Copies of this chain bind each other. A is one copy, B any other.
Amino acid sequence: MTKRSAQAPPRDATPPRTRIQKRNRELILEAALEVFSQTGYRGATLDQIAAEAGLSKPNLLYYYPSKEAIHRELLHGLLDTWLDPLKALDHGGEPLDEILEYVRRKLQLARDFPRESRIFANEILQGAPTILPDLEGDLKTLVDRTAQTINHWVKADRLAPVDPVHLIFSIWALTQHYADFEVQVRAVNGGADPFPAAEQHLETLFRRMLSPA
C-alpha cells in the first residue's frame, strides 16, 4: 500500500444478519480497537487482531473484507461517541457551567476510553486519510454551531471574551493529552494517576479564563 487515500473500491462489510455474526463483528471491532490503538494502522497486523479476537485470520476476513474495512468501520463508529459531549452542550444553559461540564466529560472520556482517543490521534497525525471528510463536514458544522453560541454568550457578557474556535481546540488538546500522551504524563508524574489533579487543574484553568469580568 502506497497511499490509503488512492484506492479503488472502498467497500464495507455487509450488515450482520445473524446473532453470531453480530457477536463476532463486535469481537473483531473490540480486538481491532485494542491492537490499532497500540501500534497504529500500519503497525497492526491481522494476525494480532485475529488472535485478540480469538478467531483465525481467514475467519476474520470472512466478516470484514479487508484490514482497511475494519479500520474504517471502527473509526466511524467511534466518531459519534467522540462528538457526543459537544452535542450535549446546552445552548440555553449557564455558559461557564456548560463549558466546565463539557471539559469534565471530555476528561472522563480520556480516562475511560484512552484507546479510542489514541486511534483518533493516530488517524489525525497521519493526515486523517480515512475521516477527513467527516472532519470537514459534520465536525466543522458542529464546531461552527457551538462557536456561534459561545460568541453570543460573550456578547451578552456572560463569558469573558475568547476566540470560540480556539477555545474548543484548547479543550480538546488539554483533555486528550492525558490519554494520547499518557506514557509521558506518567513518566514525568512518577507513575502516579494524573487524573484527579488534572480535573482540579482544568477546572481552575477554565474558571479563571472564562469567568466574566
Contact = CB atoms under 8 A, between A and B. Distances in A.
A148 to B, nearest CB: 14
Given A128-B184, A132-B183, A163 B197 contact: yes
B121 A38 contact: no
Interface of A: 38-43, 118, 121-122, 124-128, 132, 135-136, 139-140, 143, 160-163, 165-170, 172-174, 176-178, 180-181, 183-185, 187-190, 194, 197-198, 200-201, 204-205, 208-209
Contacts of A183: 124, 127-128, 132, 135
Q: SS class of chain A's interface: helix, strand, loop or mixed? A: helix
A165 B178 CA distance: 13
Contacts of A178: 169
Contact of A128 (B127, B172, B187): B187
Contacts of A209: 204-205, 208-209
A183 to B, nearest CB: 5
Enumerate the 5 nearest inter-chain pairs by beta-carbon distance, A residue then B residue, closest first.
A173-B177, A42-B43, A135-B187, A166-B201, A42-B42
Given A40-B42, A183-B127, A139 B201 contact: no
Which of A43, A162, A173, A178 gathers the greatest number of chain B CB atoms within 10 Å?
A173
B125 A162 contact: no
A41 B124 CA distance: 15
A192 B161 CA distance: 21
Nearest to A164: B201
A180 to B, nearest CB: 6
